[in-house]
C-alpha cells in the first residue's frame, strides 16, 4: 500500500496509494446502499407482510428477528436479527450522510482536500452517534 | 459494429443518451427518502410498544398507510437504480449480465407490489 512518505506529494497511481476518508466513505456509500437494498428492504417486506398476515404471523416475525422465544431456531436467528437491525440502522444513517455529501459534491462544492476529508470523517461520526442515540431511545423508552 | 475503420470500430460504444434521467431519478428518490424514512423511524420511535395491536393500529391510520405505500414505491425505485449501477460496474460477462438485467427489472417491482398490497390490507381491514 503506502510506499511514499507522507510529507511528499504523490500522484494518483493504481498500486501506490493510501486509505483516505473520502475513498472510505465512497465505498461505504455503495456497500451500505446495497446492504439496505437487499437486507433492509427484505426485512421491511417481511415486517409489513407479517403485520398484514395477522397477530400470529407478526408474533412469528418478532420471535425470529428479536425475542427468540419461538422454536429453537429462533433463539439463534434472534441474535442475528438484533445484529442485522443495528447494522442496518448504522447503514441507513451512513448512507443518508454520504448521500447528503453527494448532493454537495453534485453542485460542485466540497472538493478542496481538507474540506473533503473533514466532511467525509463527519459522516462517519454522524452515523455512529445517530445509531447509538436511536437505539438508546428505543431500548430505554420501550 | 463497423468494418475495421477507426470510426466504425467505436460507433455504438458511446453514450446511450439516457444517463441523465437515471441520475436525476436517483436524486429525486433520494430526496423522497429523506422525508419518508425519518417519518418512518420517528413514528416507530414514538410507538408506545411494539406489540401487534400498537404496530397494526399505527400502520392502519390513513397518513401512516399513505406514507408506508409511498415508502415502498420510493425506496424500491431508489434501490433499483443503485443496484443497477453496482451490477453494471461489476458484472460484465454475457450470462451474468443478462441475469442481472432481468433481476433488476423484475425483483424491485415484485417487492414494492408486495409491500403496497400488505399496507392496503392492513389499512382496509382483513386479517
Q: How far apart are the CA of A34 and the nearest CA of chain B, in angstroms?
A: 6
**Contact check, Cβ <8 Å, A52/B27:** no
Find the mean pLDDT for residues A1-20. 69
Grid coordinates representing B114? 408486495
pLDDT attached to residue B13: 79
pTM of the model: 0.89
**B127, pLDDT greater than 50:** no
Q: Are B81 and B29 in contact (CB under 8 A)?
A: yes
Whether A1 has a pLDDT exceeding 80, the answer reads no
| Confidence grade of residue A18 (pLDDT, cut at 50, 70, 90) | confident
Counting residues of chain B whose pLDDT is more than 90, the rounded percentage is: 81
Cell of B14: 458511446
Residue B97 covered by a domain: yes
The CATH number for B83's domain is 1.20.1300
The 3-state secondary structure of B65-117 reads HHHHHHHHHHHHHHHHHHHHHHHHHHCCCHHHHHHHHHHHHHHHHHHHHHHHH
| Whole-angstrom distance, CA of residue B89 vs CA of residue B77 | 19
Residue B17 lies in a domain: no
Q: Is residue B16 part of a domain?
A: no
Count of structural domains within chain B: 1
Among B47, B50, B122, beta carbon nearest to A52? B122
Looking at the domain assignment, is residue B15 inside a domain? no
Asked if the structure places residue B66 within a domain, the reply is yes
Q: What is the pLDDT of residues A68-127, one digit of tens each?
A: 999 999 999 999 999 999 999 999 999 999 999 999 999 999 999 999 999 999 999 999
Enumerate the residues of chain A whose CB falls inside 8 A of the CB of residue B60.
Answer: none
In A, minimum Cα distance to B121 occurs at A52
The model's pLDDT over A120-135, given as tens digits with 9 standing for 90+, comes to: 999 999 999 999 999 9
The number of beta carbons lying within 10 Å of the beta carbon of residue B14 is 7
> Domain of B50?
28-123
- pLDDT tens digit sequence for B65-87: 999 999 999 999 999 999 999 99
Residue B10: inside a domain: no
All structural domains of chain A with their residue ranges: 30-137
| Domain membership flag for residue B12 | no
Q: How far apart are the CA of A5 and the nearest CA of chain B, in angstroms?
A: 32
Contact B79 A103 (CB under 8 A): no
* pLDDT of A3: 54
Residue A82 grid cell: 438484533
Nearest to A96 by CA among B115, B38, B64, B85: B38
CB contacts of B87 in chain A (<8 Å) are: none
What CATH number labels A30-137? 1.20.1300
* Interface list for A 106-135 with B (CB within 8 A): 106, 134
Give the pLDDT of residue B72: 98
pLDDT at A17 over 60: yes
Residue B21 domain-assigned (yes or no): no
Q: Judge whether residue A9 has pLDDT over 70.
A: no
Amino acid at each position: 500500500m503506502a510506499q511514499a512518505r507522507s510529507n511528499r506529494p504523490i500522484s494518483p497511481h493504481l498500486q501506490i496509494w493510501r486509505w483516505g476518508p473520502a475513498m472510505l466513505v465512497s465505498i461505504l456509500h455503495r456497500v451500505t446502499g446495497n446492504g439496505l437494498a437487499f437486507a433492509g428492504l427484505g426485512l421491511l417486506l417481511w415486517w409489513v407482510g407479517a403485520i398484514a398476515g395477522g397477530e400470529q404471523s407478526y408474533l412469528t416475525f418478532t420471535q425470529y428477528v428479536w425475542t427468540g422465544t419461538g422454536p429453537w431456531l429462533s433463539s439463534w436467528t434472534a441474535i442475528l436479527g438484533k445484529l442485522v437491525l443495528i447494522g442496518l440502522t448504522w447503514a441507513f444513517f451512513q448512507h443518508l450522510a454520504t448521500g447528503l455529501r453527494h448532493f454537495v459534491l453534485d453542485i460542485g462544492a466540497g472538493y478542496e482536500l481538507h474540506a473533503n476529508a473533514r466532511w467525509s470523517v463527519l459522516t462517519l461520526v454522524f452515523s455512529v452517534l445517530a445509531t447509538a442515540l436511536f437505539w438508546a431511545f428505543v431500548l430505554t423508552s420501550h | 459494429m463497423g468494418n475495421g475503420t477507426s470510426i466504425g470500430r467505436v460507433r455504438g460504444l458511446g453514450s446511450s443518451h439516457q444517463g441523465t434521467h437515471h441520475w436525476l431519478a436517483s436524486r429525486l428518490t433520494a430526496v423522497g427518502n429523506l422525508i419518508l424514512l425519518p417519518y418512518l423511524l420517528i413514528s416507530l420511535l414514538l410507538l408506545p410498544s411494539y406489540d401487534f395491536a400498537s404496530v397494526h393500529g399505527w400502520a392502519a391510520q390513513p397518513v401512516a398507510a399513505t406514507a408506508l405505500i409511498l415508502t415502498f414505491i420510493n425506496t424500491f425505485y431508489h434501490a433499483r437504480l443503485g443496484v443497477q449501477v453496482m451490477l453494471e460496474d461489476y458484472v460484465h460477462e454475457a450470462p451474468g449480465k443478462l441475469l442481472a438485467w432481468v433481476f433488476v427489472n423484475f425483483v424491485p417491482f415484485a417487492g414494492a407490489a408486495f409491500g403496497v398490497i400488505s399496507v392496503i390490507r392492513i389499512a382496509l381491514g382483513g386479517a
